[in-house]
Amino acid sequence: MSVNQQAHTGPPYGQPQPGYQGFQQPAYGGQSLPGAPQSQYGAYNGPVPGYQQPVPPQGSLRAPPTSGAPPPASGASHPSGHVAYSQFEHGDVQNGIPASAAPMQRPPASQPFLPGSAPTPVSQISTFQQYGPPPGSVQQLRNHMAGMTIGSTAASAPPPAGLGYASVPPVSGSVSATGSGLYTPYSASQGAPPPSVSQALPVAQPPFPGQTVPTQRLPAQVPGFTPPPPSTGVGPSSYPPTTGAPRPPAMPGPPLPGQTLAGPPSSQPNHVSSPPPPSTMAGLHPGPPMSGLHGPPPPTHPPQPGYQMQQNGSFGQMRGPQPNYGGAYPGAPNYGSPPGPPPPPKRLDPDSIPSPIQVIEDDRNNRGSEPFVTGVRGQVPPLVTTNFLVKDQGNASPRYIRCTSYNIPCTSDMAKQSQVPLAAVIKPLATLPPEETLPYLVDHGESGPVRCNRCKAYMCPFMQFIEGGRRFQCCFCSCVTEVPPHYFQHLDHTGKRVDFYDRPELSLGSYEFLATVDYCKNNKFPSPPAFIFMIDVSYNAVKSGLVRLICEELKSLLDYLPREGNMEESAIRVGFVTYNKVLHFYNVKSSLAQPQMMVVSDVADMFVPLLDGFLVNVNESRTVIASLLDQIPEMFADTRETETVFAPVIQAGLEALKAAECAGKLFIFHTSLPIAEAPGKLKNRDDRKLINTDKEKTLFQPQTSFYNNLAKDCVAQGCCVDLFLFPNQYLDVATLGVVPYQTGGSIYKYAYFQLETDQYRFLNDLRRDVQKEVGFDAVMRVRTSTGIRATDFFGAFYMSNTTDVEMAGLDCDKTITVEFKHDDKLSEDSGALLQCALLYTSCAGQRRLRIHNLSLNCCTQLADLYRNCETDTLINYLAKYAYRGVLSSPVKTVRDALINQCAQILACYRKNCASPSSAGQLILPECMKLLPVYLNCVLKSDVLQPGPEVTTDDRAYIRQLVTSMDVAETNVFFYPRLLPLTKADVDSDSLPAAIRNSEERLSKGDIYLLENGLNIFVWVGVNVQQSLIQNLFGVSSFSQISNALSTLPVLENPFSKKVRSVVDMLQGQRSRYMKLIIVKQEDKLEMLFKHFLVEDKSLSGGASYVDFLCHMHKEIRQLLS
């Protein structure tokens, strides 16, 4: 793939970055706090000639990079004769699907560097336009290596990478390490320059007979450099320690001389965190030292010119001085590094590394128009960011199952060699778009579904009928089973049954069976489930207005309980409990004039004081329920009780469901750490000093095993728990979340809940949570054909044995991720099969089996594996694997393992599939070119690399949330979607084209929207036209825009309507209602926003995309040598 990517045009998805030090943030659900320090940023636009650069205060943040276009270098002319490399030559495949007749157009790769061109004089830097639009044509995007000499022209090195400055003409001498000791730029301390500075960017073609695996490659060495000994790799530990970045096209190893790395700081939660105490910006947060770096410590060579880390987080060129940004002028602090000789000025073009936006856009253009027909084995589906229709012709839709690879190695040795995890992300009850058909329900009567005698697999399209249709051979275990007489049918001349198209289980990938009584608990059909609403009525809950809000909402919400398609009313019964230190049960029997309250104060031995009248039909008891909901806020209006219990509340709900002999769900609304004397009592154990120590894992573990045992009891009864938290301080999400997590429930968190700003979001979440499709008392088993088996499971569930995933409840948003390992050889002819069978009770009390089948190809050539991988699914699996790892290992170990695994995946490709080329080139498989950029986003997420303001509860919350996310959710969570609203076409229904997640892509005359599945930020530049501000916010100037808005004002003009429709469209695509946050440029909230610009460097020590790409290259070269 040509490495010079086009200006970005596709709506992007994105990933968040860790937060900024010293900035308050609204909590994952919270709002921002007053009193955070002012941003130290100056204007966003490029420097005006003649600005004096002030010396920056220590720890100030880096300036936004300039646009990718190089400054006019005096005397440097564009190299002539750019050679165009087509992206997919010679039958290359993209994402595993043969290139369509209209091949994707990529800009030509730029031309080898011409040694004679003159260096860019530093004095000219002030002519760049800071955030100008990216050059329109690829020719303009010439590689920045062209036009800059590599000789040792004396140019000053930019300031230390770790401090987040703009690249400004710095003091002479290169700066070797940042103040916090996180990175050593390629400079004096690095020894000879690594040989991997490559100039031309050709597409590498792998040498497989008759097939090519598309790759991205950055070429080898710069004319005029003598390569150092191979052991230098890419300069050891010159990268920011931790970080996960999207996978780029191949790129030249280290940043070129004169580059420094840095992006906006980013230690912010991928959700917004609660207002922490304001911390000052001075002094960087020392992240885990060198974490995530493998390989030897930096060699201690005498200073010599080397590669300076790229400061601006891109392969762009050196930034000019910028107004209001600290510059390292002579005399600026050198942060503890001895001056070394200046490296030559040289920069890489950020547009020359793989762009997530470009990949997303290309896939949309190539695969969005045709339906995805599932009849062919091992087809890689379109990306999750592409809007496409699915036609089920025998394999389950990718909405139900996505795999990390659709062509799996035939042997375990090959799988070990590649290190590509074989996993499936399964969403058994996924919601389908209206144009697609729901799975058919098949009723085989008393005899139940037809199954294999030996392995118990269910009838599916891959079963082989033999002996004229009297028997069938199982596609999973090869056992032959008699066809029951009622199911017999003749075969046609091809060996297919003549009723093939009339039976969903023979022709479709997904379908349901009605279960017989044998599939029910105690061999009796289940009763319809119940919902119990359990409301905290302690002082905080009453005072904040929460209790009144919940009671008002429930009056209308109870009319929208889930029901089967054609039923008049829901079969679900409801009950109500309130609690503080004691529990209050309510009798709302329809025959009563007024509800009756019963108090249970012995919380140590919980029981339900009434049976009849506790769980009722909404329509029958409507007036009594309405009366109760009116009375609750009044009854507790003057409460002084601040303490709460928690475990007894769950026990009460569980006992009520047991007594009623049904499954169900508890909706618990809770505000504080349960410190009252009772079972499951907790203490405040929050301790930030544990971060980056071996004991950090205890912060993610429950403080008592009590809740694990309680969860086990809940699962046995089919009691699922959904927890709505409204904390004003630490509340131990890691412990309180155990029961929701193991029962298949959900947690919602609204830190510092305030009625005026948060009620809309909470009510939307509550409505969706109550109304969504959910299966109760669920058990899932995944069967595989001989040769592989399911060995590991990730998600919100409980397992009492090694095969059955048990969930008290499973809703339409939850996924279960399953990893497979070889236990024998597979064959290319027969491929591999998966069958996911979910047994559950529907909301009407009907016992059902939902079956999803998927067939995969098997390969003996590694190139086939790499051509059929799905990077988004791979990242989803790796994030879940890492997020589980923090429970048992130090975070640094988890990060290092992730980096190492990805380096091994890419090194195996380089060694076995790519055509021979210089070690100085980074070569990536076409399907995996975004692996580095996305991995970097995972590495610098708040769970693995928290900024100083990310709370322990935030980290535990995000860890649990991500564990059951689907692929589309992790995609936008880790690499957020950034849309330029001012470029939106007010007359069309479409979204504006997305741009890359980097500060240098922002222009201060525009308004942008960034979404990550939990938050929507609207960023307003300081130079936005007053008419736009008036149209969107209804105020006359930038200074009057209020940060406190939680929804956009409804104004009658085309721009307001368009922006609100974009926000509504995005809200509709997400499973949670996203918090809207208005961010004014240079305002204190801007640090929070910048945390999500994940291609830039983060304040918590996360690398920029560019730096991480170089680091991955170094790791790969070490593995290869």
46-81 pLDDT, tens digit per residue, is: 333 344 444 444 444 444 444 444 444 444 444 444
Main-chain dihedrals φ then ψ at residue 441, nearest 5 degrees? -100, 120
Whether pLDDT at 142 is above 90 = no
Whether pLDDT at 829 is above 80 = yes
Q: Which residue in this structure is represented by tokens 């839709």?
A: 397
Under DSSP, the state recorded for 583 is: E
Average pLDDT over residues 83-99: 39
Average pLDDT over residues 709-719: 97
Q: Are 908 and 208 within 8 A, CB to CB?
A: no
Q: Are 649 and 515 within 8 A, CB to CB?
A: no
- Encode burial over 165-194: b for 16+ CB neighbours within 10 A, e otherwise: bbbbbbbebbbbbbbbbbbbbbbbbbbbbb
pLDDT for 1101: 86
Main-chain dihedrals φ then ψ at residue 741, nearest 5 degrees? -65, -50
pLDDT for 567: 86
Q: How confident is the model at residue 343 (pLDDT cuts 50, 70, 90)?
A: low
Q: How confident is the model at residue 348 (pLDDT cuts 50, 70, 90)?
A: low
Q: How many residues does the chain have?
A: 1121
pLDDT for 888: 96
Dist. CA 490–CA 468, nearest whole Å? 6
pLDDT for 340: 53
Average pLDDT over residues 578-582: 97
Average pLDDT over residues 226-250: 38
Nearest to residue 35, comparing CAs of 1004, 1047, 1043? 1043
Main-chain dihedrals φ then ψ at residue 885, nearest 5 degrees? -60, -30
pLDDT for 216: 52
Dist. CA 996–CA 1090, nearest whole Å? 13
Tokens (6 digits) for 97: 């699907």
Whether pLDDT at 723 is above 60 = yes
- Average of per-residue pLDDT values in the chain: 78
pLDDT for 437: 94
Q: For 100-138, how does the pLDDT look when each residue is reduced to its tens digit (9 = 90+)?
A: 434 444 444 433 334 344 444 333 333 333 444 444 433
Q: For 352-398, how does the pLDDT look when each residue is reduced to its tens digit (9 = 90+)?
A: 899 999 999 999 999 999 999 999 999 999 999 999 999 999 999 99
Nearest to residue 590, comparing CAs of 631, 630, 628, 534? 628
Dist. CA 720–CA 807, nearest whole Å? 8
Whether pLDDT at 226 is above 90 = no
Under DSSP, the state recorded for 370 is: S
Give, in order, the Cα–Cα distances in Å from 1055 to each of 988, 1034, 1039, 1048, 1049: 12, 12, 20, 12, 12
**Which residues sit opposite 272 in a β-bridge?**
29
pTM value? 0.73
Dist. CA 158–CA 146, nearest whole Å? 20
Whether pLDDT at 33 is above 80 = no
